[in-house]
Structure 1
């Protein structure tokens, strides 16, 4: 186990306990653990390697002492096991995976997400997929493997300057997509559930990887908002070349995009909208997506999430035209744990000073 003395002592009992149940071996989280202990000298850290699908036993006395709890998916059966816990810091962007858990539904322990740590790597994935599609790289790569020189296949490139990216859900990920897209000469429009009509309302108050994102909400040339279908359709009517789906999964956003939405995109932009989904698979009506791809209502799709996951081998999505699928890996990076520990440290600072927590989940809204 990580942190703290091997033999319990009166001194260790006086220290505040940070409990970590995370999916990396302890050495993989070493920088984050060391940073935590360096900043907070009065802390003891207990680290447990938690692997999904495998049982994890955390002693009851450790749970009872934990003041701060960092986890990805593992939770004790109820909040009674965590009588001293001031906040639970999830190392995931969302908490929909534990939305039915008693700690979520029946307790008042503040829950915080790691929203913000994914922006750089997921934005790179989105732009990479859009360029792969617009430069016809999959076909060119197939030709390389076949040892065929067919220059004509690579001649129909559509570069990104002047094209429009519509970001459905202008959070930390969407803001970094906007930064990269603007650097490429693209126009950016944003969609949020609630109106953002003042400079203050357009600011990003979550965790931001330094030097990234759109902290002040300056990149979009236009903002759209509302949760009614007509509001969403007004956004989709704006001749979008790249549609980035980055909304959280809630009851409202389940099957947010279906045939009427794909038809709206096509009517507005007959040359074809490319759809990138890095949110959750259920945000799209998947059979409708397959039909839209076959019918040419959109130019293609890049999907890092599907419904369900893993995607069954016989699912028709695999063989739909112009689709690229990755197995929910766009958020991966070699500094993920380090960044997530930074969010934890910031929240501990704020909790101790009575400040507003970063990325606290609104249980009523679901994110």
Structure 2
């Protein structure tokens, strides 16, 4: 049994993976290995048994081409905390008018404008996986009421209420965070219907752009200039077509991106490879959700 790492890593990281998995590890092998640690591309061979991504999302992987007898695992939860931190960085910057004050003061204008607090506001979380749980923990620390919608409600820690429909999230929340994976079911999930129910002020997307229907969101923002769309993802990224609406704040898909986070993610993935070898892997991807 051998682990093949199908992207560039340091020898030190490969050695760490070897220590965790307790099997030989090869960086960018010429031939397919029994276990493959990937970012996106993979090599299939007759002995391939496990494909483990370093990424939490898997919509970029050619899942349809992976044989059904090969176990395919995501790296869910590996980036949850930093992605939640990024969501709240966007929210706090908007609520406290950080960018506005920065521009004004640098231009010589010293003017106090009203700002908002998160305390006592309602945070609605669409999707309660790793990112959702981390967002709930941070929201609760800010004194927010937490609502969450998920197919599989679990422990209620940090959640005041699991709602029955996404309609309730948009109808009852001041701030909505989108944390769903992009699957067949969730593509275009946030469209004109849900947006028409939104009575809050801020929608945050730290998941995938296509969970939100582009035409519906742009129309919503045009008709509701007082509401804000804060997003780490955009349709067609990295190419941005057309002018961004004034009530959009966009970052270039960096919520989980930094060298130390990649290292942590790789360690997390290698631990799941070890769990696979022990017969109990986590985060097995359901093909039917994507294919």
Taking the TM superposition and a 5 Å limit, the aligned residue runs for 1:315-354 are 315-316=242-243, 318=244, 320-354=245-279
Q: Quick one: structure 1 residues 100 and 86, their matched pair in 2 at CA, closer, same or farther if it must change by over 3 Å?
A: closer
Q: How many equivalent residue pairs? A: 291
Matches within 5 A, 1:289-304: 289-296=217-224, 299-304=227-232
Looking at structure 2, the residues matched to 349 and 19 of structure 1 have their Cα atoms a distance apart, in angstroms, of 14
Q: CA deviation at 1:323?
A: 1.1
Q: Paired residue for 1:4?
A: none
SS of equivalent to 1:335: helix
Counterparts of residues 81-230 of structure 1 (less than 5 Å): 82-99=45-62, 101-103=64-66, 106-151=67-112, 153=113, 156-194=114-152, 196=153, 202=154, 216-225=155-164
Cα distance in 2 for residues equivalent to 1:40 and 1:359: 17
What are the Cα deviations for residues 211-241 of structure 1, in whole angstroms up to 9, with x where unaligned?
Answer: xxxxx4411111024xxxxx32133222x11
Shift of 1:33: 2.2
Matches of 1:303 and 1:118 in 2, distance apart?
16
Query: Do 1:262 and 1:298's aligned partners in 2 also have CA atoms closer than 8 Å?
Result: no
Task: Report deviation, 1:166.
Answer: 0.5
Query: What's the offset of the Cα at 1:40?
Result: 4.6
1:141–1:109 distance in 2 versus 1, CA, 3 Å? same
Deviation at 1:255, TM superposition (A): 1.4
Equivalent position of 1:6 in the other structure: none
Runs of 4 or more off by more than 6 Å in structure 1? none
Find the aligned partners of 2:27 and 2:184 in 1 and give their Cα distance: 35
* Gap regions ≥5 residues in structure 2: none
5 Å-filtered alignment, 1:235-254, equals 235-238=169-172, 240-254=173-187
C-alpha change, 1:116 and 1:298, in structure 2 (3 Å) is farther
**Does residue 26 of structure 1 match 2:9?**
yes
TM-score, normalised by the number of residues in structure 2:
0.92
Larger radius of gyration: 1
- Cα offset, 1:310, TM superposition: 1.9
Per the alignment, residue 55 of structure 1 pairs with: none
Contact 2:125 2:169 in 1 (8 A): no
CA-atom RMSD, angstroms?
Answer: 2.1
Q: Describe the shift of the 1:141–1:289 C-alpha distance in structure 2 as closer, same or farther (beyond 3 A).
A: same
